[in-house]
Amino acid sequence: MSDYRRNYIKGGTYFFTVVTEKRRPILNNPLARKCLREAFCHCMQNHPFTIDAIVMLPNHIHAIWTLPEGDADYSKRWGIIKKNFTQSWLKQGGSEVSISKSKQRYYRRGVWQRRFWEHTLSSQADYNQHFDYLHYNPIKHGIVKHLSDYPYSSFHRYVKQGIYSADWGTHYEPNFGFNELNNLE
């Protein structure tokens, strides 16, 4: 068993990677995108947070969240989102992969990987690197050649705000300045 300890900082800003079970590309499905949007809205009603940036790829999500002052419970939020998504997805005909008897004993379903990866953003430079990494992901994975062609990303919001140019990331690969993220996917 891993000895990993999560870092909980009240009002903190975090980078997350959440992956589908066995990396199935279910998030390509319009129903999955609808269920995910509804799961986020449902969670945010009782457990608010700010989504600073997000990208939804076929088999994983990267997100940067900022939690309210006095609150550090991002694990509860991801649990609510994943549970709500799974229930809605399966109820509306979405599929799951078969899982072991031991996972079934713990009421697991074959939709999401059990855990998620989290990194506490500790400085503006750290934030900027993860922000760019998140938005560059559709190009990194060969899904598109131009980020402006990928609709499931907050990239478009930041183009409108003038933070990115519409062709950002098209002609070069940004230097993110860290290695741990290269092993996430």
pLDDT tens, position by position, 60-82 = 999 999 999 999 999 999 999 99
Phi, psi of 20 (to 5 degrees): -70, 155
What is the rounded CA–CA span in Å between residue 110 and residue 23?
A: 11
Residue type at position 40? F
Residue 152 DSSP SS3? coil
Q: Which residues are catalytic?
A: 152
> What's the predicted TM-score (pTM) here?
0.89
Percent of the chain with pLDDT over 70: 84
pLDDT tens, position by position, 43-53 = 999 999 999 99
Number of Cβ within a 10 Å radius of residue 60: 23
Residue 136 DSSP SS3? helix
Is the confidence at residue 42, as pLDDT, over 80? Answer: yes
| Residue boundaries of the structural domains of the chain | 13-183
Give whole-number Cα distances, 99 to 89, 117, 152, 160, in Å.
17, 21, 29, 43
* Predicted pLDDT of residue 94: 82
CATH H-level superfamily of 13-183: Transposase IS200-like (3.30.70.1290)
DSSP 26: G
